[in-house]
Amino acid sequence: MKLTKLKTNYIARHFIYYDVIDSTQSEIWRLIENNKIVNGTMVACDIQTAGKGTHGRNWITDEHGNIAFSIYIETNCLIEKLNGLTLDIAKILVELLKEDYSIKIDIKEPNDLMINNKKIGGILTESKILGENVKFLVIGIGINTIKMNFEKELEDIATSIKKEYDVNIDREDFISKFCNELEINIKKRVETELEF
């Protein structure tokens, strides 16, 4: 996978891709712990065996071609500057799918992406907070773009874009455009206003 349409200054400029990994989110945290990470690092994969969802749930990516990635972003800003970020991320994803593929996705606030009341994706936002400042964010995104086979207990609550719309998503293009929009959003939030 290559992100050839990036227009970012730093987000996903350092890009690590795995065919198979336990969790892109866990890998980012391992890189942080080992001091082997730079601002904007993205870890993406094809197959995720122990992906992390919200509330400690698993998000398994077990078929090729779905979207699973995590991004490390240094923010060093007050907590309130990042209020509503997860919902903004959801809105960016929804807008891109609508613009490029005419797909209607609903947001179950703040972090679930839904089609026909079934989940197709989610956002996991984790952070390191020191005092009143958010030092950095780790943002994980998983979207069932092409998954066709769901375990029996998930059939009524989960689905994919391919299953509902029979549309193929260009992963590289989609992820690149998302990164471009995310960097704009983060910049607006964390830039320090000049004092005159």
* Strands 112-115 and 106-108, sheet pairing: antiparallel
Does the global pTM surpass 0.85? Answer: yes
CATH ID of 15-189, from 3.20.110.20, 3.40.190.80, 3.90.850.10, 3.30.930.10: 3.30.930.10
pLDDT along the chain (196 residues), means of 10: 92 96 95 96 91 61 84 95 96 97 95 94 95 95 90 84 94 97 95 49
The number of C-alpha atoms within 13 Å of 83 and in the hemisphere containing its C-beta is 5
To 10 degrees, what angle do helices 85-101 and 171-190 make? 140
Sequence letter at residue 66: N
Phi, psi of 39 (to 5 degrees): -55, 130
Write down the pLDDT at residue 4.
86
Beta bridge partners of 68: 142
